[in-house]
A and B are shown apart, each in its own frame.
Chain A
Amino acid sequence: MKIAIVVQRYGADINGGAELHARYIAERLARYADVRVLTTCARDYLTWRNEFTAGVDHVNGIAVERFRVSRERNEAEFGLRSDHVFSRRHSLQDELDWLTSEGPTSPELLARLSRGRDEFDFVVLFCARYFHAYHGARIVPERAVLVPTAERDPAIGLAMFRPIFRGVRAIMFNSPEEQALIRAAAANDHVPGVVVGIGSEIPASVDPARARAKFRLTGPYVVYVGRIDANKGCAELFDFFTRYAATRRDAATLVLIGRAVLEIPTHPSIRHVGFVDDSDKFDIIAGATALIMPSYYESLSMVALEAWAIGRPVIANAHCDVLLGQCLRSNAGLYYADADEFGAVLERVLTDDPLVDRLGRNGRKFYDEHYSWPVIERKYLDMFAFLSSNASTYRMERVPGWFARKLRSLRPAAQVLDELPTGPALDVDDRGPGRSAPQRQGAIA
């Protein structure tokens, strides 16, 4: 079996969520199939500037073909087009222009896919919202397996993606919430899909004492791991935490791991240790009372899964459907919707050791049952076997003609998104391909 993995960026030092996801999947599937990665020369997802050399490369034993990006992203243009298609009545051509402005536009990559149409048994396309995934799915719909990594952002309401979601051979979802969202947006129940997610490289043992000594961490602490950015909910986290700390003399410490894009408030109970390697990261998480995930939009929180994998509970933002759903399904995390709840939840986990232990055990169990690598690999292989034995009966809808594309008949994407169901999906059946979509419970917070 020969598999192509198509992703916008690829490299051992690229740690974006979807890119890391793609690399892990490529390296894992390479044990069972001939895997080849098709990607761009870009390293920076904001500019798509060509920084890698075009041609064939090898990353951790995986063959990687890199293709040049024809134009860098113009932030101002992309912003204007985003505003137009998300909040105004627009045409399909507007959406296509928006996609081109988003990038990464690499006609060479698409040409390579077109040339190798019969070379690969399956083409796994990562990140539905990007240029390569949209056009790649249109080039090889009969072999396309989509990993959408979709969040609840307005892009999911764009009309141009609906034929893609309906026309690919299969969809590998990251979470039941993502599955329910895409099923509702595209009405694509006929497309085989399974909630897979991603595993992680969990170390065999962790040493919290070493991290405490190295980073001089004393007393109980909670940890946030990721880019320290307002878009990740960090501004709200700082606000809630400082409010909580103002009412406690012996407040726990908030340890921040990651690159800071947002200014971190100067507070005796907030410690920023910067970007650390994986061993330090896992040791710090293992020594923490809990991991905090303040993000509003997540398609799958890998760091939450990592915390659960080493038996640490998670405190999640209840406004994020995916995180809320994961907490409820795993019974391994608490959640907050406002500052009061944040303080109360934090207080609870800091003072209730039996509860923390039990949450941690549940998290470990949840990770082992759903996100350990044998489970992930089996789901991919089962899907490939299913697709090999079942021919596709659906043909992807064609792109409308020139006049139809120019017709300003499409509603704002944000408006479309608002009409999609919200809340965590609890009735989940992710045993294999061809299952129906999970039912939403409705907003809890």
Chain B
Amino acid sequence: MDHNQGRRGHFHRGRRGPDRRGPERRQGPPPDQGNRPERTDRLDVEQVMREIRTRIAQRSGIDLSNQQIQELAARRLEAILDPRGLKPELLDQLRRSAGERSVSIDAVAAGGAPSYPFDESTLYDSPNALLRFIRKLLQPLLRMMFNPTPIAHALALQSRLNTEIAAREAERDRRQAEWNALHYEILQRLALEVSRGSIDAHNLLLRVESLAAKVDFNERRVRSMEGAQVRVRPQEAVQPAQPPAISASESAAASPQVVSAVQPGEPSRRRRRRRRGRRGPGTGVPAEASATAPLAPGAATEQDDGEIDEGYEEESASEPINTMEPLAASEPIAVSPAVAPSEPITPLAPIPSSEPTTFEPPTASFEPHPSEPMISSEPAAVEPIDSQSGARHEEPAPPGEPDHRDE
């Protein structure tokens, strides 16, 4: 049994975008065809059977039963053997030949014109003994009037020829009957397969259209993400010009700068956790323990490596925004070419005039885009800030551990 029936497929788990937001996401799960009758007071076996047949159709990808396909094939066969294009009676002949093949073969084997042995005495033969005797008695008289011997020889020869021709004819008819039956069978199967193939092709076409729509949507998503990075980068580019925000972080060690970058990034991490929520327990560590456990060095990156949600993790892994480095006033944030290798973003891209928040201090206005995982890989940088702020620091769960903190 497929225990995952009714659940979203694996490929949905890391998806982000407008299709997961909005009212449709809060809608209940799609009606489970299999459980509906149980919820009703009165069981309807017809409804149960309809559900079962629907599932079969979905599984096979063709919403037609074998019988329906055969009927369709029969209609196609009629179309192939259109009387306007071929002999009008060909279809009937083929059908008759296929249906009566055994009968016709038997008839041919047993049939043919009856053959009689013919010799000179046959002319005077009779079942009546008296008549036979009289004929024999008068035979010399008859021979006086004409010579019956050549006639008897000719008829004997003709009789033998008739027998041979009948045998040849019977053999030919038998072979023809077999060929007719074979042709009809081949045509029937061909039409059946063509019908089945055309239905499959139609289904595949619909699937291709669906996949094309998904590809189109993903492309739009990538473009929107790239655009968001373009908007974020100029904000960071002006960070050196905003000393109060930086100095607040720099009051501790050099690493707290990292933390100041991490803190705004927390919502982004939460968003990631949501996509990881369905992993089963792998290491046996309780979720509560993992939530409060100190972050092991490199745990975040390891977790990312082990994540099932490849699409999202690859994206995060390919965006090595170096938050560990102190942000020098003259140093713009490096943008990994892996994000959009074909469109290198220059650090000095013009700032859109319609975004005045770009010139505000980063601590107040900087809202990192969720697609940028501003995660520190150094736990030592995290600890002091936690102790200063007094807030509970949320550690990422160990690899393989379910993380339901945001759910």
Contact = CB atoms under 8 A, between A and B. Distances in A.
Contact of A331 (B43, B56, B60, B67): B43
A348 B52 contact: yes
B355 interface: no
Contact of B56 (A328, A334, A344, A362): A344
B56 A355 contact: no
A358 interface: yes
Interface residues of A, number: 22
A334 B42 CA distance: 15
A332 B1 CA distance: 23
B66 interface: yes
B375 to A, nearest CB: 43
Contacts of B53: 341, 344
A335 B48 CA distance: 10
A340 B55 CA distance: 10
B49 A334 contact: yes
A355 B32 CA distance: 14
Nearest to B39: A354
Given A338-B66, A355-B38, A345 B43 contact: no
Contact of A344 (B44, B45, B55, B67): B55
Contact of B45 (A328, A340, A351): A328
Interface string A323-346: 000011001111101101100110
Contacts of B52: 334, 341, 344-345, 348
A347 interface: yes
A4 B387 CA distance: 101
B65 A334 contact: no
B48 A334 contact: yes
A334 to B, nearest CB: 6
A370 B53 CA distance: 30
B44 to A, nearest CB: 6
A352 interface: yes
B294 interface: no
Interface string B23-62: 0000000000010011000111110110011011000100
A359 interface: yes
A344 B5 CA distance: 14
Nearest to B41: A358
B64 to A, nearest CB: 12
A20 to B, nearest CB: 28
Contact of B1 (A340, A347, A354): A347
B56 A340 contact: yes
A263 B223 CA distance: 67
Nearest to A359: B43
Main secondary structure of the interface of B (DSSP, over half): helix
A344 B49 CA distance: 10
B49 to A, nearest CB: 6
A334 B51 CA distance: 12
B49 A338 contact: no
Contacts of B48: 334, 348, 355
Given A340-B60, A347-B1, A362 B43 contact: yes
B69 to A, nearest CB: 12
Interface residues of B, number: 19
A331 B44 contact: yes
B45 to A, nearest CB: 5
Nearest to A357: B38
Contacts of A331: 42-45
Nearest to B42: A331
A333 B55 CA distance: 19
A359 B45 contact: yes
Interface in A340-396: 340-341, 344-345, 347-348, 351-352, 354-355, 358-359, 362
Contacts of A359: 43, 45
B66 A333 contact: no
B52 to A, nearest CB: 5
Contacts of B46: 328
Nearest to A344: B52
Contacts of A337: 65
Contacts of B66: 338
Contacts of A334: 45, 48-49, 52
Nearest to B48: A334
A340 B44 CA distance: 21
A348 B53 CA distance: 12
Contacts of A352: 34, 38
B233 to A, nearest CB: 54
A137 to B, nearest CB: 38
Contacts of A338: 65-67
B206 to A, nearest CB: 21
B381 to A, nearest CB: 52
B361 to A, nearest CB: 61
B56 A348 contact: no
Interface in A232-261: none
A98 to B, nearest CB: 22
Interface in B50-87: 52-53, 55-56, 60, 65-67
A344 B55 CA distance: 8
Contact of A355 (B37, B42, B60, B65): B37
B53 to A, nearest CB: 7
A335 B49 contact: yes
Nearest to A358: B43
A347 B48 CA distance: 13
Contacts of B56: 340-341, 344
Nearest to B65: A338
A232 B37 CA distance: 31
Interface string A130-146: 00000000000000000
Contacts of B55: 344
A415 to B, nearest CB: 15
Contacts of A345: 49, 52
Contacts of B42: 331
B402 to A, nearest CB: 26
Among A333, A341, A345, A358, max chain B CB count under 10 A is at A358
A332 B56 CA distance: 21
A347 to B, nearest CB: 7
A364 to B, nearest CB: 13
Nearest to A354: B38
B38 A358 contact: yes
B2 to A, nearest CB: 10
Contacts of A344: 52-53, 55-56
Contacts of A335: 45, 49
Given A328-B45, A340-B60, 9 more contacts: A334-B52, A335-B45, A337-B65, A341-B52, A341-B56, A348-B34, A355-B37, A355-B43, A358-B37
User: Nearest 4 A-B pairs (CB), nearest first?
Assistant: A344-B52, A358-B43, A354-B38, A340-B56
7 contacts: A328-B45, A331-B45, A334-B45, A334-B49, A341-B52, A341-B53, A358-B38
Interface of B: 1, 34, 37-38, 42-46, 48-49, 52-53, 55-56, 60, 65-67
